[in-house]
């Protein structure tokens, strides 16, 4: 029997890795090792004002063949996100974009309403839109209807490393939404990435957890292993959990034996 390959599909593109690496807060020298140790096939980037003088550019440190996923960080509303996405595409790195709209400087929580608007515009322009969002079922449905290629709910406030604070709500998205669910933001440990994958998430994105580790490439590898383990567990079907106090009450089906047949 031919074994089916377990692929993550995004906008018609197939990936075997289910770990997306954020490249922020790194020294450029470590980017390549981190990408390689993470086995990442997608790396996120941000767009900023360039420095004069031909300084090192992050693109020089990202291995060949890795898909670049520019984000729209810095956007405070849909209009700004759309502009940043359009500028990013001019750099000739493909049609992927991660929409990120934030106008709250204290908690940095994404604005789902503006994100939906930006998704609709950019999907209409042929972008492969990957929206970062607060895990809300109605908003996720609107994003899918607007043309999102996946939905990226946060696990906890960005950069917090607090783990799966929104567990129940992410589970609802996993159960109800037909596009890939990529848990993004707040994942602080490999075990949390593993847990999200066991729940049925399609992929994990992390940045700060790795960027703030003592040994960045080693932590990248730990995440890769955790994501793989969680995925395999999900595909294998988790074993059962015995409910405490499960109590076989009086039989409910006894009445069936006395039931006369009508037909």
Partner 1 sequence: MRQMDPCPDEMKHNGMKHNGMEDIGTDIMDRVLSAAAAYDPARFTPGDVRAALDADECSPEDFAALLSPAAVPFLEEIAQKARLETKKRFGNSVFLFTPLYISNYCENFCVYCGFNHKNRIARSRLDGEGIEREMKAIAESGLLELLILTGESRKMSDVAYIGEACEVARRYFKVVGLEVYPMNSSEYAFLHRHGADFVTVFQETYDPERYKELHPAGRKRIFPWRFNAQERAILGGMRGVGFAALLGLADFRKDAYATGMHAYLVQRKYPQAEISLSCPRLRPVRGDSALPPTRIGVVELFQVICAYRLFMPFAGITISSRESARFRDHVVDIAATKISAGVDVGIGGRTGRASGDEQFEIDDGRSVSEIRDMLLLRSLQPVMSEYIYV
Partner 2 sequence: MITVNGCRIDLSEGNRNLSDCLDAQGYRTDRVVVVLNEVVVRRNAYSSVILKDGDVMEVLHFVGGG
Residue 42 as a binder of partner 2 (CB under 8 A): the answer is no
List the interface residues with partner 2, window 131-170 (CB under 8 A).
158-159
Cβ at position 208, least distance to partner 1 in Å = 30
Binding site partner of 46, from partner 2, partner 1, none, Cβ cut-off 5-8 A by kind: partner 2
Buried b (16+ CB within 10 A) or exposed e, 13-38: bebebbbbbbbeebeeebbebbbebb
Report how far residue 133's alpha carbon sits from residue 111's, in angstroms, rounded to the nearest whole number: 7
Binding site partner of 45, from partner 1, partner 2, none, Cβ cut-off 5-8 A by kind: partner 2
Residue 13 as a binder of partner 1 (CB under 8 A): the answer is no
Please state, in angstroms and as integers, the Cα–Cα distance from residue 192 to each residue in 9, 78, 183, 201, following that order: 23, 31, 10, 12
Residue 237 as a binder of partner 1 (CB under 8 A): the answer is yes
Joined together, the tokens standing for residue 29 give: 């020298």
Q: Which stretch, 5-13, 80-88, 168-176, 190-198, contacts partner 2 (CB under 8 A)?
A: 80-88
Sheet holding 203-206, edge to edge: 19-22, 203-206, 182-184
Cβ at position 22, least distance to partner 2 in Å = 3
Specify the 3-state DSSP secondary structure of 151: strand
- Can you give the length of the chain in residues? 263
Specify the 3-state DSSP secondary structure of 78: helix
Q: Characterize the bridge pairing of strands 19-22 and 203-206.
A: parallel
Among 141, 162, 167, 225, binds partner 1 (CB under 8 A): 141
| Nearest to partner 2 of 144, 196 (CB atom) | 196
| Nearest to partner 1 of 70, 230 (CB atom) | 230
Contact (CB, 8 A) for 177 and 200: no
Residue 255 as a binder of partner 1 (CB under 8 A): the answer is yes
Q: Characterize the bridge pairing of strands 182-184 and 203-206.
A: parallel
Please state, in angstroms and as integers, the Cα–Cα distance from residue 66 to each residue in 21, 38, 114, 131, 154, following that order: 11, 12, 29, 20, 23
Binding site partner of 175, from partner 1, partner 2, none, Cβ cut-off 5-8 A by kind: partner 1
25: left (phi over 0), alpha (psi -120 to 50) or beta: left
Show Cβ contacts of residue 206 under 8 Å, excluding neighbours closer than 6 positions: 19, 20, 21, 22, 187, 193, 223
Residue 207 as a binder of partner 2 (CB under 8 A): the answer is yes
Size of the site for partner 2 (CB under 8 A): 37
Query: Which positions are annotated as active-site residues?
Result: 98
Cβ at position 199, least distance to partner 1 in Å = 10
Among 27, 51, 105, 249, binds partner 1 (CB under 8 A): 249
Residue 67 as a binder of partner 2 (CB under 8 A): the answer is no
Which residues would be at the binding site for partner 1 (CB under 8 A)?
A: 137, 141, 175-176, 178, 237, 239-241, 248-249, 251-253, 255-256, 258-263
Which residues would be at the binding site for partner 2 (CB under 8 A)?
A: 22-26, 28, 31, 44-54, 57-59, 68, 70-71, 73, 86-88, 90-91, 93, 158-159, 185, 205, 207-208
């Amino acid at each position: 029997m031919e074994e089916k390959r377990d692929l993550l599909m995004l906008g018609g593109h197939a990936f075997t890795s289910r770990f997306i690496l954020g490249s922020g807060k790194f020294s450029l020298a470590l980017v390549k090792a981190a990408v390689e140790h993470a086995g990442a096939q997608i790396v996120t980037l941000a767009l900023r004002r360039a420095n004069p003088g031909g300084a090192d550019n992050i693109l020089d440190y990202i291995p060949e063949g890795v898909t670049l996923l520019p984000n729209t960080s810095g956007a405070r509303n849909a209009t700004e996100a759309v502009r940043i996405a359009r500028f990013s595409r001019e750099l000739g790195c493909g049609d992927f974009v991660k929409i990120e709209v934030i106008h709250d400087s204290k908690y940095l929580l994404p604005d789902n309403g503006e994100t939906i608007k930006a998704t609709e515009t950019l999907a209409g322009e042929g972008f492969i839109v990957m929206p970062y969002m607060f895990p809300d079922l109605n908003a996720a449905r609107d994003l899918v209807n607007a043309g999102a290629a996946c939905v990226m709910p946060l696990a906890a406030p960005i950069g917090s490393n607090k783990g799966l604070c929104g567990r129940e709500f992410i589970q609802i998205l996993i159960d109800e939404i037909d596009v890939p669910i990529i848990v993004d933001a707040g994942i602080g440990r490999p075990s949390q990435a593993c847990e999200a994958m066991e729940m049925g998430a399609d992929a994990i994105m992390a940045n700060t957890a790795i960027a703030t580790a003592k040994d960045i490439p080693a932590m990248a590898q730990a995440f890769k292993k955790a994501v793989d383990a969680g995925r395999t567990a999900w595909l294998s079907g988790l074993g059962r959990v015995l409910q405490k106090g499960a109590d076989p009450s009086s039989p409910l089906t006894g009445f069936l034996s006395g039931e006369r047949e009508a037909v």
